[in-house]
Every structure is written in structure tokens, then in C-alpha cells.
Structure 1
């Protein structure tokens, strides 16, 4: 990480960092700001009065002397704040520090008087970590300046946990941001194995022979068109004391997707290195789970592959046999993710998890419906759906439950097989979820993260720069914690 966040019991004015950040609410200094103002003979209140700084949420002003630089950070109105705003403030402060080239910054624990030191410290620290992320390993001259933040009157354990969770998000972002010539299915499996060795996870990786031997015909059909071999990855976290059951996570792992013979246009292909963002989120979450050590067993599955064109590639009108024996008529080779997931879901379900959550950049239809910052949540299990939605809300990630309309199942009926891999264009995201449900026999939630998983620009990612967002890591971790 390019950022370090610590806490101190002292107030902002008692700390000697060259840059100090205080909140402004409705044009008025916070309590911390007033303490600092009293130590500076009223200079800050005079500055606010002179400049008439009030500001919308996230706006800032700077008062500087030869000895100290005070940053006024506006939290907007005086009331009605949420912890999500505290997190957002941390993101913006991290970006601001980078622009101002500030190395050492002490910041007040925003709204700790309303939410408590623990919750406020966690949200602020998580925002600082998420906002400070950058991916510059392929730059000739990457920035290497480490920034140090101190949260005044903060709660240290909460900051430590925020760092652990953010490290999982960083891992997911790194995986998505890697170019596809580097992050092949084999390399993704290698990194999962490295994580397992580092974090104390169990790991199993299957190659082409085992994939075919197991009868994963849908997954293999997609994978066999590429010269880069597929890898089926299983990561297992086991608590110190044996658990009665386990939870399962499944992530879509298309390290690159051309669309196959249903070829994508160039503009649609430019972000397809991110078609494994579901897998990245699952792997990132497993890193955090291994560090937090909840008393529940968690198993994660990724069917990693590329969807390419060659003499070995699958075709429209092919009929495939999935792991659970169901047959699938292929009508669009660009609907490949659901084929790889069909076998992963059937395999994960066979292990009888108490609940199964799957994440995938599955449909453009979901992006049309919900935009770039909200994931679609699909489930026929209402209690489990509510559980996931609550975990996402607590984690600060936006999801919206979509219907699993039974009438649309007829659109997936095939004349030559059990099911088609696509139906009609209208309601495509719902039909994709209904298709996946054919292969998940455990209590199941599908998260379509096609919108929020990859940001084409910083405006599309409220918690970081353009590129991979790591969406889903925080929700999965919170969901597992709630179960524990």
C-alpha cells in the first residue's frame, strides 16, 4: 500500500503534523476545529468568515502559514449524515492529499460524536485506503511517495480491520487491472495458490484433463477455444474449530472475452480484461476472510478461462452437457460466462453449502437497468436475498434486488436441449439469472456486477480511480461475518 493510517488519542491541535484536517458543517467549524481555532487565536474562524466558506459535501479550503497548513473539509449540512459519507470523505481526502503532495496529515475523526469512535474510525480509514489506491506497475516512473494519515481520537482496532479489508479490495483491483496477456487463467491460478500459501488457505487447481474428467462440458466448451489453458480453482478457509457447515462463493473468471464467434466489436472488447471481476472479488474476499478468521468454513470456486476464436472454439448451435447432466443449446457464444458458471455452481452445490453467493460481470442488460454503480441482486430465496442486501448496505456497496420472474423461464426452453443459453433481449439480466438457477441446487444469490465492477473513468468509481473497483469484496466479507 502507498498509504499508512494510524490513530492517536490526541486531538488535532495536539498533534504536530504539518497538515491538519478539520470538518466544516453548515459553514461552522466542528468541535475539533474550534479547539484548534482557540489555539491559533481565532485565525481559523476569521478565515472562514472572510472567505465565507461553507461548501457542498467534499469541498475544501486551505489556511496556510509557515508552520502549519489547515484543510477545511466540508461535510455539507449540519445534520442527516451517514457513515457512507464518512467513508466518502476519506476517499476524497486521500485524493486531495495526493494532489497537494501532502505526506503527513492528521485528520479529525469525522462525526465520531454521532456514530462512535469505532464506527467512524473504520469508515474514515476504509475511505482513505480505498481512495489512495493506484495501479502503476507498468509505468516507467511510478509514484512511490508513501502518505501517512493519523486519525485524531481514533479507534486503532477499527483502522486495523479497515486495512485488512482494503487489502482484499486492492488484490481484487490489481487482478482486474492486469493486462490479459499477463493474467491468463494459468496465472490467475498461480496467484490464487500464492495467496493460499501466504494466508493459510487450502487450494485445489484442476487443469483441462480433470475438467473434462469431471464432466464440466459447458465450462470446457468455452475454454477449449484458447491456447491458454483453463484452470478450475478452489480455495478453502477452515476455522480453527470444525464448523458444522460451510458457505460457498463463486466468481466468474473470464480473463478475456472476445465474444467467441459471436464476436464483440472493438469498443465492447476494450474492457474485457475485467470479465473476471467476479473471480477477483471472491479471491480478494478469501484473503480478508483468512485474516479475520471467522468461525465458519468458506469455500470459493472460480472456473477461469478465455473465450477466444480458433478451430477448437465452440459454435452457435452446439449442444453441451453440464456437470449436473443438463444439456444446453448454444445460441450465442458471447453468453459464455453463464456456461462456465453453470458447471462451477453445480460443482459448488454438490458440496451442500448452507448458502451460495455468486458474482459475475454477466449482462449489459443489468448495466442498462441500474447504471455503473449498482449491482443487480437476484434470488428465489427471499431471506437470503435480504441477508445479502443488508450486508451490502453495511459494507457501503450498492445493490438492488431484481425479480426472478417465473414466466420468463419459457424463454429459455430449447427445442433440442434442456435449456438455451440465451432467451430474448428484453429482460436479459433476469433470464441470465434464471439460467444460472438451473444449476444451483443450494440456497443461491446471483450478483450481476457488470456495472460497478469496472470504471471507465474516476467518476464511475466513487471509491477510487478508473479501472477495477474491487466491488463485492466488502459485501462478501460482511456477509460471512454476519453468518459467523
Structure 2
């Protein structure tokens, strides 16, 4: 579905459509519009509308003439995230309306951006595989009431961010029979065609020439060969270089260490890390941020076959480190290893990898909180702060020293898993990845952060706020916010 067309109007009377009125919760619910539209405390009480976050009610209001309106609760605080979620709830409640007007009294540019972004994300759903809903408009217009000087710039930014998140969601929601590694690479080339982003696609021959044993090893069991997509956005005068590395397992059966049938459902989302890398770089380029960003999308399909990777196999990764494969279902860290070495070789200021890496992340932090591990407190704090601003919660976790002992292998440099030992699985995976981070010119480890998005990448329940069922696009907005803060 397309992003709505956002416009600015000086008053609600200057645009047609259903009027969206945010309501602040409290002992006496408060309408946050310039006019109260006759919505007295008594009428709100009669409607049993408290302003609770996400609550909606369709009514008729009068301001010179009768008009259809939607009340939407923002909760007890008028925060940017509360406005994003309220706008998303409004978008879902009005999914069959072609024209909408949102009025928030004295809205700042930031608040207008939050409303537009929340509405666009709440309105999105992947519907190309369903019969057309004839009652849903093909295009939607959303007018926001404002005379703020910076409002148009805010709406432009909201649109770019929404397009990036929607693109990442659509990649994640695409069925795995369509989104194989080659198709991901093709879409990477297409989406960057008119942007100042250089794209190089490595096929299996190039991967072999470049000693990328992890990506090749995971992909060798599939009829759909692996790929690596290298993206480079390098604006003139950029003082900081951020490298992003994404896990791109387009479908994960577990390989020879095959998953139970029920656990395979949703494994199309296992490329969400790579999808977020691609979407982030596209957004950064469209915003024209003066920061150099490199991306490494490590793409493979993990399948069981006569050619598949086996437990006890030893892989030689980019850079020479050998890994004893003790579990072929711990494949994400194998493809990331090659990407992390490649990223380190470019000597960036920081390497950030993003992956739906471990079920242990979901056990520890649930389905809405990203696990963050790394070797640098400054970058940890930047990502946490960015997550707070965007509403994509990021929670720091340690990499304890004793984890290193569990990485030892009798036949190789490392093992990729400890079968039978379920303790600290998220932390073990991070400790493994850390071994592939290179050193800077001074001989110190390059700053590195690892985002485990196994839970937040997919919403398996009902839609809420601006988050639909299915792929969420996490953590695209957090990554863009982190990079934007550098400039």
C-alpha cells in the first residue's frame, strides 16, 4: 500500500475528510484541538471515552456544520511516541477513508512528524497477495493542521522514514519462495538505482574468491545460491563512517539440525537484519545525512539436502578463523562472521550488526525489546538513546568473560554453539560475533554493537498503535536516528 499524501492546512475547514481529534487521558479527558467541538466532559463521559492510549470512537461533531470525527486516545502524556501510536491507531480505524484531517492544537514540527509517521506506519499492510478490498481507497490524503514554519520539512522527513520502514516490512513479509537471495540482491539494486549509493553483488564464485566460508557454508544446501550485497553511501566531507552488517537468511529450516515444523513458521522473517540495513541506507541517502554508511547484507537460504552443511563440519571464515559447526541451526552467526570481517577491513568508526539471531533474546526480553551487546559504552548509549526517541526500545546486555571459555573447540578456533546448554544463548552468540571484529589503526578493537531483534522484528499478535501484524521494520528508525545524531 502506498504512503498517504500528507499536506498542511491552516484550519480543519480547509480540507475535507474525517476529523481526527487526539484526547489526553486524565481525571477529566482533554481534547487537544483548538476548538472543543462541543466535546464537554459530560459528553465524553456519556461516550465512555477516557482518552486511554489507543482507544478510538467515531462520532459526529459540530463546528458551524456537522462533521464526522474520530476520537483517539493518547494516554496520560503528550509525548512523541504517544502521538505516533495514536495516529497509527487512527489510521487502522479509518482504513476505508480516503480523506483524513488531523488537528492537534499548537503542534510543533516534531509532533507533526510523529503524527504523520505514525499514521503512515499504521496504515501500511502487505495486501498484494489478497483479493482487492474494494472498499479501501487506492490513495489516501491526510491533512495536518499547522502554520508552523518547519512543518513541511518535518512531513518530508516523516515520509522518507515511513517509506524506509514500509520497504523493510515488505521485504520481511514477502513469501520465501519469492524472496530468495538473488531476488533480495535484485531489489537492492532497484531501490538504490536513483540514489548516491554504490551497490556490489557477490555471487557464489565471488564469495569463494573472497574466502567467505560462512555465507557459502550456510547456503550450500539450497538450490538458491547465497549472495552478499555490499552498499556504500559516501557523501563528500563525511567525518564519520558507520558500517552496518545484516543477517539475511531468506528462509531457515535449521538445515540438517532441522527445526520442528511449528518453529519453521515465520522463518521468512529471518532476513530482517539485512532488510533493515538496506532500508536504513536508503533513508540516510534520501535524507542527505553527511555520514558515510556502508552496508553488508549476508544472504543465504538454510536448507537440508545432500549438499547441506553438517554438524562436525569445519568452516574457514573470511580472515582465516575456523569454526566447528556443532549446530547448523546456529547459522546466522556464521554468515555474519564474514560480514563483520569485511566491515572491519574498511576501518569504520563503528560496526553495527543487526540480526534475528537467538530465541534466547525472546526469552530474556520478549517480543518488543531489542537486545544490545557490544564492546563500546559510547555507542551503546547512542543506540539506547535513539531507541528511546523513536519508541523502539533497546536494552543493553553484557558479554560475560566466562562465556569465552564455551567458545573453545578441540578441532577449530571456535564452535558456533553448545548443544544441550541453553544458558545465556543470546550472550554466547554475541561473544562469538565479537571474535570477528577487527582492530583499528592504533591496534584497538573497532567499536562494535550487536542488535538481536529476534522478537521485535515480527509482531505475531494483533496490530497495536502503528505496528501491524507481521514484519515491523525494527530497528530502521533507531538506526537512522543514531546516524542522524552524528551530523
Q: Structures share a fold, TM > 0.5?
A: yes
Q: Is the 8 A contact 1:168 1:287 kept in 2?
A: yes
> Given the alignment, which residue of 79, 82, 87 partners 2:79?
82
- What does the per-residue CA deviation read over 1:308-342, in whole Å, with 9 as the maximum and x for residues that have no partner? 11121111011111111111111000001100000
> Given the alignment, which residue of 472, 478, 484 partners 2:475?
472
> Given the alignment, which residue of 376, 380, 387 partners 1:381?
376
> Given the alignment, which residue of 442, 447, 464 partners 2:451?
447
Partner of 1:173: 169
Matched, 1:30 2:31: yes
Matched, 1:225 2:226: no
**1:293 positional shift:** 1.1
Change (3 A) 1:23 1:242: closer
Q: Is the 8 A contact 1:243 1:296 kept in 2?
A: yes
**1:353 positional shift:** 0.6
Q: Secondary structure at the match of 1:85?
A: helix
Provide the rounded CA distance (Å) in 2 between the counterparts of 1:49 and 1:372: 35
Q: Which 5+ residue runs of structure 2 have no aligned equivalent? A: 439-445
More helix by share: 1
Q: Is the 8 A contact 1:257 1:306 kept in 2?
A: yes
Provide the rounded CA distance (Å) in 2 between the counterparts of 1:44 and 1:96: 23
**1:409 positional shift:** 0.9
Change (3 A) 1:43 1:324: closer
Matched, 1:145 2:138: yes
Change (3 A) 1:16 1:344: closer
Partner of 1:393: 388
Provide the rounded CA distance (Å) in 2 between the counterparts of 1:15 and 1:70: 15
Partner of 2:304: 309
**1:468 positional shift:** 0.9
Q: Which 5+ residue runs of structure 1 have no aligned equivalent? A: none
**1:199 positional shift:** 2.1
Matched, 1:259 2:262: no
Partner of 1:19: 18
Count matched residues: 468
1:191-230 pair list within 5 angstroms: 191-230=187-226
> What is the CA RMSD across the aligned residues, in angstroms?
1.9
Change (3 A) 1:293 1:31: closer
Matched, 1:286 2:287: no
Q: Secondary structure at the match of 2:343?
A: helix
> Given the alignment, which residue of 404, 407, 413 partners 2:399?
404
Change (3 A) 1:351 1:44: same
> Given the alignment, which residue of 122, 126, 142 partners 1:131?
122
Provide the rounded CA distance (Å) in 1 between the counterparts of 2:413 and 2:458: 33
Q: Is the 8 A contact 1:22 1:29 kept in 2?
A: no
Provide the rounded CA distance (Å) in 1 between the counterparts of 2:471 and 2:210: 32
Provide the rounded CA distance (Å) in 2 between the counterparts of 1:121 and 1:466: 25
**1:50 positional shift:** 4.1
Partner of 1:71: 70
Q: Is the 8 A contact 1:5 1:151 kept in 2?
A: no
Change (3 A) 1:19 1:330: same
Partner of 2:324: 329
**1:144 positional shift:** 4.5
Change (3 A) 1:434 1:52: closer
Q: Is the 8 A contact 1:2 1:144 kept in 2?
A: no
Partner of 1:433: 430
Change (3 A) 1:74 1:467: closer
Mean alpha-carbon deviation: is it higher for 200-209 or for 428-437?
Answer: 200-209
Provide the rounded CA distance (Å) in 2 between the counterparts of 1:8 and 1:361: 39
Q: Secondary structure at the match of 2:193?
A: helix
Q: Secondary structure at the match of 2:250?
A: strand
1:331-346 pair list within 5 angstroms: 331-346=326-341
**1:71 positional shift:** 2.2
Mean alpha-carbon deviation: is it higher for 153-162 or for 65-74?
Answer: 65-74
Provide the rounded CA distance (Å) in 1 between the counterparts of 2:343 and 2:48: 59
**1:120 positional shift:** 0.5
